[in-house]
């Protein structure tokens, strides 16, 4: 049997794989590694879960370690600010993060650094990492183009480019951006492209950017893996469907429930949690922090149920998902296969359930035919033996409160103390202040005096930026409404509106 050492990988990399319980290469890795390690362009085709991430991660770190100059003093690779040597493009933030989780330990074993670049978060951390120097950038096309336009990095030194889930990038409309990015890399850069299919323009990428690629296809990407068992459960109405969904979610193992809309995903996760089945949602309306928290809770086993839209149909690699439920049948067969691919990964088995209302029978029949699924619909009701057999052992009732997002205090600014002054005299530190004499401490300060015309009384106000929202008193000042004598426009005063009558004789706060 072929081992990773037999394939020519460095001993530190082999040790990292062994520490993670990975001792034997998957077929896609055995087939492609000799060519990718030799510097050839590779086109890898295979369904999700076939081991494609390591198939490109291993040659990337190995070739960079072999080709890079090292410091004579430290022996560590020399890296220049904003000039990565390898680029991995991925269609989603979740996939970029999970690629980094696979690549980073391998890179660290060889003294290499990685970073991720994607939208939905502040770019400052990403820019800081680039300025410090990184070897491997794992990025989504949109944010990467932004940073390239701002000249925070250049791709002139890129030696290896990887396109992962290229067909999904095509589905999301990213190919024009991908082409612009690839045009900024060298023409003779080694390129590794992995895709389940070659439709929707992926074939154009292959012809334009890969030089005499070696193709490795280890399975039929259009067929489900043999370890996956498919079930079509026909329910009488929406109430029966709701009860069956809740029952299917009650097992002790991990399960992913797919809905058609973001609203449905959020609503279903809340309903299950309220019923004692802890669940988290994943969809496009969530901020990046919430996405990462929810996915971490699911990956760690803190919660066993993930309710998601098709955003999770690809790129969510969580071990031991025993059940996938299509709460709403997907629109087309490729989405069915990718959703279903969250289970039966890496040689493990899994079940896939499609719930079907009477009016969906024709659509489901076409869907399964195109996906090459031979399962026949079964009429079920809540509590039927067919349903309970898919649930398995039922988890106990749990009261689950999702963790609140942690928002660290802004650096150099005090926490807010006190609240709003509603009337008379009031003082707040780091917060917003009401009418009358106002004082806020901690930040850049500005004072304004004037007769209020838009509030309920007159007063003097001191407002500032820094500690919190501006404070104000006595409403808008007269300068907001009347021009200067020389005809020049007056600048509006800083501060908001006062809430009550102020003290016109009070001194301005400092």
Q: CA 456, 458, 461: angle at the middle one, nearest 5?
A: 110
d(C-alpha 232, C-alpha 244), whole Å? 13
Q: Do 377 and 236 contact (CB within 8 A), yes or no?
A: no
User: Per-residue pLDDT for the chain (510 aa), expressed as one digit of tens each?
Assistant: 788 999 989 999 999 999 998 988 988 899 999 999 999 999 998 766 668 899 999 999 999 999 866 555 556 677 899 999 999 999 989 899 989 999 999 999 999 999 999 998 999 999 999 999 999 999 999 999 999 999 999 999 999 999 998 988 988 889 999 999 999 999 889 999 998 777 778 999 999 999 999 999 875 544 555 578 999 999 999 999 999 999 999 999 999 999 999 999 999 999 999 999 999 999 989 888 898 899 989 989 899 999 999 888 876 777 789 999 999 999 888 889 888 888 876 556 789 999 999 999 999 999 999 988 889 999 999 999 999 999 988 888 888 877 666 554 444 444 444 444 444 343 334 444 433 343 334 444 434 343 444 333 443 433 344 444 444 444 444 333 334 444 444 444 444 444 444 444 444 433
| Residue 44: Cβ-neighbour burial (10 angstroms; 0-12, 13-18, 19+) | buried
Q: 141 and 178 in contact (C-beta within 8 Å)?
A: yes
How many CA atoms does the CB half-sphere of 183 hold within 13 Å? Answer: 8
DSSP sequence for 429-460: BSS---SSS----SSEEEEEEE-BSSSSS-EE
- Per DSSP, 77 falls in state B
Q: What is the pLDDT of residues 93-142, one digit of tens each?
A: 989 998 999 999 999 999 999 999 999 899 999 999 999 999 999 999 99
Greatest CA separation found in the chain?
92
> For residue 23, what pLDDT is reported?
87
State the pLDDT at residue 213. 95
pLDDT of residue 436: 39
What distances in angstroms separate CA 346 from CA 83, 184, 230, 299, 313, one per listed residue?
A: 35, 35, 18, 16, 16
* Pairwise CA distance, residues 469 & 428, whole Å: 10
Domains with residue ranges and CATH for the chain: 11-217 (3.40.50.300), 228-391 (3.40.50.300), 418-510 (no CATH)
């Amino acid at each position: 049997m072929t081992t990773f050492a037999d394939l020519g990988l460095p001993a530190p990399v082999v040790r990292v794989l062994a520490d993670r319980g990975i001792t034997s290469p998957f077929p896609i890795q055995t087939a492609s590694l000799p060519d990718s390690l030799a510097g050839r362009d590779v086109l890898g085709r295979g369904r999700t879960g076939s081991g494609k991430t390591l198939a490109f991660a291993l040659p990337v770190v190995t070739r960079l370690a072999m080709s890079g100059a090292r410091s004579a003093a430290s022996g560590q690779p020399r890296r220049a600010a904003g000039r990565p040597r390898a680029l991995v493009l991925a269609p989603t933030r979740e996939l970029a993060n999970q690629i980094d989780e696979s690549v980073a330990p391998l890179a660290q074993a060889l003294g290499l650094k990685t970073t991720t670049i994607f939208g939905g978060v502040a770019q400052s951390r990403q820019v800081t990492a680039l300025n410090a120097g990184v070897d491997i950038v794992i990025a989504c096309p949109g944010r990467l183009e932004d940073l390239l336009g701002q000249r925070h990095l250049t791709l002139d030194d890129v030696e290896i480019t990887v396109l992962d889930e290229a067909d999904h990038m095509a589905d999301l409309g990213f190919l024009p951006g991908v082409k612009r990015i690839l045009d900024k890399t060298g023409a003779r850069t080694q390129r590794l492209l992995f895709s389940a299919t070659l439709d929707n323009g992926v074939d154009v990428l292959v012809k334009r950017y890969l030089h005499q690629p070696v193709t490795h296809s280890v399975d039929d990407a259009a067929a489900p893996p043999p370890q996956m068992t498919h079930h079509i459960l026909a329910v009488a109405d929406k109430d029966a469907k709701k009860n069956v969904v809740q029952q299917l979610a009650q097992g002790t193992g991990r399960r992913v429930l797919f809905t058609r809309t973001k609203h449905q995903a959020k609503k279903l996760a809340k309903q299950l949690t309220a019923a004692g089945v802890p669940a988290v949602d994943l969809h496009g309306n969530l901020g990046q922090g919430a996405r990462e928290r929810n996915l971490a809770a699911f990956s760690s086993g803190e919660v066993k149920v993930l309710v998601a839209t098709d955003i999770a149909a690809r790129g969510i690699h969580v071990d031991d998902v025993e059940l996938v439920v299509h709460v709403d049948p997907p629109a087309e067969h490729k989405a069915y296969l990718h959703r279903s691919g969250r289970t039966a990964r890496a040689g493990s088995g899994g079940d896939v359930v499609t719930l079907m209302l009477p009016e969906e029978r024709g659509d489901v029949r076409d869907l399964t035919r195109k996906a090459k699924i031979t399962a026949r619909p079964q009429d079920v009701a809540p509590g039927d033996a067919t349903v309970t057999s898919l649930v398995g052992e039922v988890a106990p009732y749990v009261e689950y409160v999702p963790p609140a997002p942690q928002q660290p205090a802004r650096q150099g600014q005090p926490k807010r103390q006190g609240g709003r002054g509603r009337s008379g005299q009031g003082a707040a530190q780091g917060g917003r202040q009401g009418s009358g004499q106002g004082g806020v401490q901690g930040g850049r300060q500005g004072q304004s005096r004037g007769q209020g015309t838009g509030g309920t009384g007159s007063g003097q106000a001191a407002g500032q930026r820094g500690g919190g929202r501006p404070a104000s008193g006595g409403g808008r000042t007269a300068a907001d409404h009347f021009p200067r004598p020389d005809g020049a426009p007056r600048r509006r005063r800083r501060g908001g509106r006062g809430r009550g009558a102020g003290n016109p004789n009070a001194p301005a706060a400092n």
